[in-house]
Amino acid sequence: MLAEITITNLGVIPRATAELSAGLTVLTGETGAGKTMVVSGLRLLTGRRAEASLVRTGTEQAVIEGAFSVSGLDAAQAGAAAAVAEGAGAEADENGEYVVSRSVRATGRSKAHISGRTVPAATLGEFTGHLLTIHGQNDQLRLMSPDQQLAALDRFDPTIGAKLDAYRAAWSAWREADKDLRDRTEKRRELAQEVDQLTFAIAEIDEVAPAEGEDTELVTEINRLQDVDALRDAAGAALAAIDGAEAAGGYAAGDDAAASTLVGVAADALSSSSDASLKELGSRLGEVAAVLSDVSAELGSFVADLPDDIDELERMLQRQQELKMLTRKYAPDVAGVIAWRAKAAKRLAKIDTSAQAVEELRSEVAALKQEMVARAATLTKARVAAAQELGEMVTVELQGLAMPKARLSVAVHKSDFTRDGADAVELKLAPNSALEPQPLATSASGGELSRVMLALEVILSGSTSGATLVFDEVDAGVGGRSAVQIGRRLARLATNNQVIVVTHLPQVAAYADTHLHVAKNVGDDSVTSGVVELSGDDRVEELARMLAGMDDSATGRAHAAELLQRAAEDVAKMRE
């Protein structure tokens, strides 16, 4: 549910904030007051394309912000919305609400946020798509699309979803196997060449047999071999200084006493002293002697491990060249070469153009196609049954919307196998039972299309709760009794959902639980608008204004008050 909306510098609205509640909310106001801007702002929250023309003249950017609560939603929808938010690193606030926003700069650039986290506009749309649905004139046009009509039918019957998922899994498996078969039969020459190339490359890598990390180790070893004489001299000199020339194998000459001997003599001399301070110093010299002993042992091992084989360097350099040959051709380093070889071997294992392999694959494709066809038939059967029921229910709704003889039928035709099945769905409308139903695109006027869309939404949303449904000028081209029926349907739809309606009809506005008025102020230099909630006499006055401008007439106000009273009684009975 949309708990609050704030608009800044959007069109003619400099700043407006409105708290929204459950039930039916209507937006009314004079033409050009900015009602459409409110819907445009909500569309921005659904990830729609941002346009610089939406930014109020003379300002740098427009901002639309909405606070959404998922607490009243169906568990599946609430979980899906929360998952999108969590994936974006966003969390609900202390009120359990997600604050989403969209800013549009005068340059046309825009930014989107969910609970303060910057997200792509597509992610914002994915999140609000579970919470907010907008119906406007453009949406009516989309209703004529076969894809939208198919989606409406699938949405009507909740059991279709599982059948569609099962079909899509079978379709994907068949499609992948069929592509593989076509590749093997139609691209046999190219595949044979690929087999030769992969076989040669794998053999070349296997002949060298690189080990992971070997290239790095070789660099270290080659550097040591190239500097082996200098390393041996340095280590030997240090060893001679610590333990004497004899211990160092003659790497240093002279009669100077070894460092270890002198430190030992000094430690013994101090340790035998009766003075505590000297004893402590002697103890520390003992530690130095121990360290020298450890260093001496490690230097001895280092010298012993230095290679003596003058051919070892040449062998390592040759090995390095072999590895470089591989890294020039297959990957930047040895680890990459090994990974490339594994991938190539996997690809090679899949390429088998032998007659036996092709025949086995052909049998597999046939079996997978049979499974797909069976799943499609199950899906079609469910859709045909749902189409009959949906057509009957929409017809009943239309007859209650001042189309007493109209009849809607939902036709399911066979089509090519696609991701959505082997069906094409078409909504058809007949003005009476004597005439053959015709496609909506050719048979429905704007007002009729509005009522068809409303009837569909009343039925499709009948099993949902907590969603926010926005209707923009859904009552265009409608008046009189039809307007009352539309108001009644919207009020019924708002029993379990939040419904927001932009309307110019007092008969519809009278059914609202909350009435918001978009007021326009025309100045010398600019036009500004604000949003205020109406109640009591203010609401009566607004309805009177909508009744052909009768707000300054006692008769008009009396008519408006009566309209409100009757609508309130109707809603009370409806929600008993």
pLDDT digits (tens, 9 = 90+) for 125-184: 999 988 888 887 666 666 778 888 998 899 899 899 999 999 999 999 999 999 988 877
At residue 406, φ and ψ (nearest 5 deg) are -70, 150
Please determine, for residue 380, whether its predicted confidence score (pLDDT) is greater than 90.
Answer: yes
Count CB-CB contacts under 10 A for residue 27.
Answer: 25
Residue 280's alpha-carbon distances to 266, 275, 290, 293, 294, in angstroms, are: 12, 9, 16, 20, 22
Average pLDDT over every residue of 419-426: 95
**Out of 359-363, 463-467, 490-494, which region has the weakest mean confidence (pLDDT)?**
463-467
Mean pLDDT score across all residues of the chain: 85
C-alpha–C-alpha distance, residues 296 and 237, integer Å: 11
Bridging pattern class, strands 132-135 and 527-534: unpaired
pLDDT per position as a tens digit, 176-209: 999 988 877 766 777 778 888 999 999 999 999 9
Q: Which has the higher per-residue pLDDT, 227 or 28?
A: 28
Pairing state between β 468-472 and 132-135: parallel
Lay out the sheet containing 438-439: strands in order across. Answer: 407-418, 421-430, 438-439
Residue 227 has pLDDT above 90, yes or no: no
Give the list of residues 6+ apart from residue 241 with CB closer than 8 angstroms, or none.
Answer: 252, 258, 259
Do 516 and 26 touch, CB atoms closer than 8 A?
A: yes
**Directed axis angle between helix 188-208 and helix 160-186, to 10°?**
80
Indicate the angle between helix axes 311-329 and 214-226, nearest 10 degrees. 150
Query: Which residues have a Cβ under 8 Å from the Cβ of 570 and sit 6 or more positions away?
Result: 488, 491, 511
Question: Higher confidence at residue 431 or residue 383?
Answer: 383
Rama region for 144: left / alpha / beta (φ>0; ψ in -120 to 50; rest) = alpha
- Percent of the chain past pLDDT 90, that is, above it, reads 40
Q: Please answer whether residues 30 and 520 qualify as being in contact, where contact means their C-beta atoms are separated by less than 8 angstroms.
A: yes
Do 401 and 489 form a contact (C-beta atoms < 8 A)?
yes
- pLDDT (0 to 100) of residue 414: 94
| Helical (H) or strand (E) element with 501 | strand 498-502
Q: How many CA atoms lie within 13 A of 20 on its CB side?
A: 29
Q: What pLDDT score was predicted for residue 254?
A: 47
Which of 211-225, 284-298, 411-425 has the largest mean confidence? Answer: 411-425
Does the global pTM surpass 0.75? no
- The predicted-structure confidence for 87-129, as pLDDT tens digits, reads as follows 999 998 888 889 999 999 999 899 999 999 999 999 999 999 8
**Helical ranges in 306-428 per DSSP H:** 311-329, 334-350, 355-399
> Based on the number of CB atoms within 10 Å of its own CB, is 182 exposed (0-12), middle (13-18) or buried (19 or more)?
exposed
Q: How far is CA 279 from CA 271, 284, 289, 292, 348, in A?
A: 5, 9, 15, 20, 76
